[in-house]
């Protein structure tokens, strides 16, 4: 912790190389993910795409958990409304349109997020967490019981939209092109969210996490920032819901159940909160282990037990999560 | 930092014409916690460019008074006027934006952020705060403001250190730096030297003298010696009531004050 003469002259160069190293790393990971569907068999191709989607959901909740210091158990609601919003667009409008599905999904998620944000951001810590959980369960019950509209228990099934650029381009999604589309959305979301978290606004969120009372005392209307954070987080969770609907061509009430929110929190903790990429890595790690367990021991295997053990061991020995060590570096 | 400059601040000849305008005024300010009256009917005034002290034994209500001024507590009754405007019961963020800043008796900083980040977030509260697309360090006016605040509390060379790794004394000064970075017109310091060594106390008081040149300051401080030479005016609180109010000399001569405070 000494500040020798070196640190006076260093900032510019370290900053440059930091940026360079970051983007080189980013491009390498992107390259791997772009090539992956060309070499992976069909099953694993879809598997990887799904990891990206869960990763986007986890990343969206990191805005609250890792950056603002609010643990949300409401993300199943945002994810679910994105999913059902997309379903509505895909079922009502024919031919099914991808962009309309995204628009409807984001609209649905934004509505849910506004509702949750308005009522729960006044509360802190466990009270916030529980309130978001209750709200997501309310959405679950509505979706589960309103069978005429949501299909209730059976959910909704629809066909996959084409990839279109209006008036220019129209093609069916293959598993590979769908993967690339999802990758583009997730990577774009990452770059955008990272920038937002580094912006003055993002610094306010982190300041709220570090010391909420002081943040208010230096002039920030904390509640307003929290509402916008929940909205932002909800929108990206909704986007994940849309992608999930497009990939799997169904919407089901079980995704709105609070266990989805629980998984999301676990992805965050495993991967490293406050890093944005960590939660994606956490989602991948979790899904991969679950997949391996069910491959080795069969479908009926109660995978949650060993996963729970792994989770606890990680909390003890790696409390920062897989990418926690790089937290400051990734946010610079 | 020169001797003359220090004297200049407290010399009565320094009385600028604006010095008669009250920046802050409380009327019958009362705070009750259940049966306990932490403040009762406090009428208090600070004039522009004054350095005022509030002294009083433990539990006298000094911090409670600051909590009211800065919107942390809503008074049970009474009014607070700042620049002639009623600010009673406003939330602390609004009061901060109006120009009252404070430091805390118990260090209240962001330990996991660097010293610079601590003051930059404060400086940022006045500009570009909702910007979502630029990097936070890309605003020269924020950076300058933050560095100026760090410089004035003598922490510029520790800018990149985590606040948690600063010494107690440095953290206390950072506390003041954060308040300064919000560009207040009235700065309330709640025992800024609490827990400091004699040398650190001396430095911090020098610092307060320096910033007092451009600011109105209200300070809670236990060291009588310090208060006597730093302030234009002293108010003595005792069990939530104003016991005495006057120049350091008047307070020193006041028999009631001597009874409850100076003797102990
Ligand atoms: N939030 C609270 N709830 C109940 N009582 C309180 C609260 N805050 C302060 N008090 C009481 O009000 C009285 C005044 O407290 P305050 O902290 O303002 O004193 P102080 O003058 O700052 O003392 P010190 O010199 O010890 O800092 C004390 O008796 C204290 O116990
Ligand atoms: Mg006190």
Could you report the per-residue pLDDT of A88-145, keeping only the tens digit for each? 999 998 888 999 999 999 999 999 999 899 888 888 888 989 988 998 899 999 988 8
Give residue A9's pLDDT band: very low, low, confident or very high (50, 70, 90).
very low
Question: Cα(A128)–Cα(A137) distance, rounded to whole angstroms?
Answer: 14
Ligand 1 centroid to Cα of residue B24, in Å, is: 22
Whether A217 sits inside 8 A of B72 (CB atoms) is yes
| CB-CB under 8 Å, B122 with A216 | no
B132 to A210: CB separation less than 8 angstroms, yes or no? no
Q: Which residue in chain B has the smallest CA separation from A2?
A: B161
**Does residue A111 or residue A151 have the better pLDDT?**
A111
The single-letter DSSP state of residue B139 is: -
Q: Span B47-68, mean pLDDT?
A: 92
* A34 Cβ contact partners less than 8 Å away, ≥ 6 residues apart: A180, A183
Kindly report which listed range (A248-252, A300-304, B17-21, B211-215) carries the lowest average pLDDT score. Answer: B17-21
B68 and B156 part of one domain: no
Contact yes or no for B157 and A204 at CB 8 A: no
B1 & B94 share domain = yes
| Per-residue model confidence as pLDDT tens digits over B236-249 | 999 999 998 999 98
Please compute the mean of the pLDDT values over residues A196-216 and round it to a whole number.
Answer: 96
Residues B241 and B142 in one domain: no
What is the pLDDT, as a whole number, of residue B15? 43
- Asked if B92 and B198 sit in the same domain, the reply is yes
A9-23, A56-70, A154-168, B224-238: the lowest-pLDDT one? A9-23
Whether B79 and B203 share a structural domain: yes
Does A200 contact B126 at a Cβ distance shorter than 8 Å?
no
| pLDDT, mean of residues A273-294 | 94
Name the most confidently modeled range: A233-242, A245-254, A297-306. A233-242
The C-alpha of B258 sits at a distance from chain A's nearest C-alpha, in angstroms, of 36
The finding on whether B235 has its CB within 6 A of some atom of ligand 1 is no
Give the per-residue SS3 of A228-295: HHHHHHHHHHHHHHHHHHHHHCEECHHHHCHHHHHHHHHHHHHHCCCCCHHHHHHHHHHHHHHHHHHH
How many interchain CB pairs under 8 A, A with B?
97
pLDDT-derived band at B91 (thresholds 50, 70, 90) equals very high
Instruction: For residue range A15-69, list pLDDT tens digits in order.
Output: 568 889 999 999 999 999 999 999 999 999 999 999 999 999 999 999 999 999 9
B198: domain range? 1-99+186-264
Per CB distance under 8 Å, which residues of A are interface residues toward B?
1, 3, 7, 195-196, 198-204, 206-207, 210-211, 213-222
Whether the bond between A95 and the residue before it is cis, its omega within 30 degrees of 0, is: yes
Same domain, B191 and B63: yes
Whether B156 and B84 map to the same domain: the answer is: no
Of B111, B125, B136, the CB nearest to A199: B136
pLDDT at B33: 92
Q: What pLDDT, on a 0 to 100 scale, did the predictor assign at position B4? A: 39
Q: What is the pLDDT of residue A163?
A: 87
pLDDT at A276: 96
Percent with pLDDT over 70 in chain B? 91
> CA–CA separation, A192 vs A199, rounded Å?
11
The Cα–Cα gap between A219 and B125 comes to 6
Among all bound ligands, the one having the nearest atom to the CA of B59 is 1
Whole-structure pTM value: 0.90
Q: Whose CA is nearest to atom 11 of ligand 1?
A: B38
Chain B residues with CB-CB distance to A5 below 8 A? none
Of A203, A218, A219, the CB nearest to B136: A203
Q: How far is the CA of A324 from the centre of ligand 2 (A)?
A: 38
Q: Residue A12's pLDDT is what?
A: 52
**Distance between CA B205 and CA A26 in Å, rounded?**
50
The listed range with the strongest mean pLDDT (B93-102, B188-197, B207-216) is B93-102
Distance A138 CA to ligand 1 centre (A): 43
Whole-angstrom distance, CA of residue B90 vs CA of residue A111: 30
pLDDT range class, residue B220, cuts 50, 70, 90: very high
Residues B49 and B157 in one domain: no
Per the model's pLDDT, the better-predicted residue between B95 and A175 turns out to be: B95
Residue B105 CA, closest ligand 1 atom number: 27
Same domain for B20 and B60: yes
Cross-chain residue pair B129–A213, CB shorter than 8 Å: no
In this prediction, residue B222 has a pLDDT band, given cuts at 50, 70 and 90, of: confident
CATH code, B23: 3.40.50.300
- CB of B63 within 6 A of ligand 1: the answer is yes
When pLDDT is cut at 50, 70 and 90, the band that residue A167 belongs to is: confident
Rounded to 5 degrees, what angle do the CA atoms A28, A30, A34 make?
A: 120
Could you say which of B138, B161, B183 is where a domain stops? B183
CA distances, A128 to each of A64, A73, A76, A146, B113 (Å): 11, 9, 15, 27, 25
Between the two ends of chain B, the Cα-to-Cα distance in Å is 33
Question: Nearest CA of chain B to the CA of A21: how many Å?
Answer: 18
Work out the number of other CB atoms within 10 angstroms of the CB of residue A29. 13
Query: Domain end: B155, B183, B211, which one?
Result: B183
CB contact under 8 A, A203 and B120: yes
Whether B104 is in a domain gets the answer no
For ligand 1, pick from B40, B64, B189 the residue to mutate: most ligand atoms within 8 Å of CB: B64
Is residue B168 included in any domain, yes or no? yes
Domain locations in chain A as residue ranges: 39-252
List CB contacts (< 8 A) between A218 and chain B.
93, 96, 101, 121-122, 125, 178-179, 181-182
Q: Which pair of structure tokens corresponds to residue A147? A: 């069978």
pLDDT at B16 exceeding the cut of 50? no
User: Which residues of B lie inside 8 Å of A (Cβ-Cβ)?
Assistant: 70, 72, 91-94, 96-97, 101-102, 108-113, 117, 120-122, 124-126, 128-136, 139, 142, 157-158, 160-161, 165, 178-179, 181-182
**Mean pLDDT value of segment B72-83:** 94
pLDDT tens, residue by residue, A257-281:
988 999 999 999 999 999 999 999 9
The domain total for chain B is: 2
DSSP, collapsed to helix, strand or coil, labels residue B250 as helix
The pLDDT of B3-23, averaged and rounded, is 49
Tell me if B1 is assigned to some domain. yes
| Same-domain pairing of B146 and B252 | no
Strand, coil or helix: B219: strand
State if residue B209 touches ligand 1 by the CB under 6 angstroms criterion. no
Identify whether residues B133 and B260 lie together within a single domain: no
Q: Are residues B150 and B248 in the same domain?
A: no
Most confident of A203-212, A297-306, B244-253: A203-212
Q: Which of B183, B199, B231 is the last residue in one of the domains? A: B183
Report which ligand 1 atom has the smallest distance to the Cα of B62: 21
CA-nearest of B122, B85, B130 to B102 is B122
Chain B positions in Cβ-Cβ contact with residue A216 (cut-off 8 Å): 91-93, 96
Residue B201 lies in a domain: yes
How remote is the CA of residue A194 from the centroid of ligand 1, in Å?
43
């Amino acid at each position: 912790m000494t500040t020798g003469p070196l640190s006076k002259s260093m900032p510019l160069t370290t900053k440059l190389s930091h940026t360079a190293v970051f983007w080189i790393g980013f491009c390498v990971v992107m390259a791997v993910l772009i090539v992956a569907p060309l070499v992976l068999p069909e099953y694993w191709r879809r598997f990887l795409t799904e990891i990206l989607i869960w990763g986007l959901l986890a990343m969206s909740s990191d805005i609250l958990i890792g950056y603002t210091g609010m643990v949300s158990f409401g993300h199943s609601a945002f994810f679910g409304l994105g999913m059902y919003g997309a379903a509505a667009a895909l079922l009502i409008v024919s031919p099914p349109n991808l962009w309309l599905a995204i628009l409807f999904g984001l609209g649905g998620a934004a509505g849910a997020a506004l509702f949750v944000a308005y009522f729960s951001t006044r509360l802190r810590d466990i009270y916030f967490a529980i309130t978001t959980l209750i709200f997501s369960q309310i959405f679950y019950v509505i979706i589960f019981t309103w069978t005429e509209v949501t299909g209730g228990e059976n959910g909704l099934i629809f066909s996959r939209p084409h990839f279109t650029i209006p008036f220019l381009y129209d093609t069916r999604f293959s598993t590979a092109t769908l993967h690339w589309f999802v990758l583009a959305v997730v990577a774009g979301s990452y770059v955008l969210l990272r920038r937002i978290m580094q912006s003055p606004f993002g610094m306010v969120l982190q300041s709220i996490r570090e010391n909420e009372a002081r943040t208010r005392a230096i002039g920030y209307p904390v509640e307003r920032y929290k509402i916008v954070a929940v909205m932002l987080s909800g929108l990206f969770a909704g986007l994940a819901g849309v992608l999930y609907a497009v990939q799997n061509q169904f919407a089901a009430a079980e995704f709105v159940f609070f266990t989805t929110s629980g998984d999301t929190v676990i992805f965050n903790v495993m991967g490293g909160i406050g890093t944005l990429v960590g939660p994606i890595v956490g989602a991948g790690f979790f899904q991969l282990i679950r997949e391996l367990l069910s491959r080795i021991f069969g479908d009926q295997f109660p995978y949650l037990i060993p996963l729970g053990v792994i989770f606890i061991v990680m909390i003890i020995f790696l409390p920062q999560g897989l990418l926690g060590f790089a937290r400051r570096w990734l946010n610079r | 930092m020169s001797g003359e400059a220090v004297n200049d601040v407290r010399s009565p000849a320094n009385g600028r014409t604006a010095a008669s305008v009250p920046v802050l005024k409380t009327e019958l300010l009362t705070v009750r916690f259940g049966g306990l009256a932490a403040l009762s009917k406090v009428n208090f005034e600070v004039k522009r460019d004054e350095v005022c002290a509030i002294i009083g034994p433990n539990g006298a209500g000094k911090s409670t008074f600051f909590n009211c001024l800065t919107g942390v507590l809503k008074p049970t009754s009474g009014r607070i006027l700042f620049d002639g405007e009623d600010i009673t019961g406003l939330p602390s963020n609004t009061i901060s934006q109006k120009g009252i800043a404070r430091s805390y008796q118990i260090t209240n900083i962001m330990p996991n952020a660097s010293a610079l980040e601590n003051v930059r977030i404060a400086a940022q509260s006045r500009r570009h705060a909702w910007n979502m697309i630029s990097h936070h360090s890309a605003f020269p006016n924020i950076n300058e403001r933050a560095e100026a605040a760090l410089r004035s509390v003598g922490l510029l060379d520790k800018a990149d250190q985590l606040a948690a790794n600063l010494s107690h004394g440095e953290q206390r000064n950072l506390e003041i730096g954060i308040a300064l970075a919000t560009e207040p017109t009235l700065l309330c310091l709640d025992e800024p030297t609490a827990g400091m060594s004699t040398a650190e106390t001396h430095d911090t008081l020098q610092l307060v003298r320096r910033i007092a040149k451009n600011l109105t300051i209200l300070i809670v401080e236990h060291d009588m010696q310090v208060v006597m030479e730093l302030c234009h005016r002293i108010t003595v609180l005792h069990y939530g009531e104003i016991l005495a109010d006057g120049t350091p000399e008047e307070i020193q001569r006041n028999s009631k004050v001597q009874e409850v405070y100076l003797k102990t």
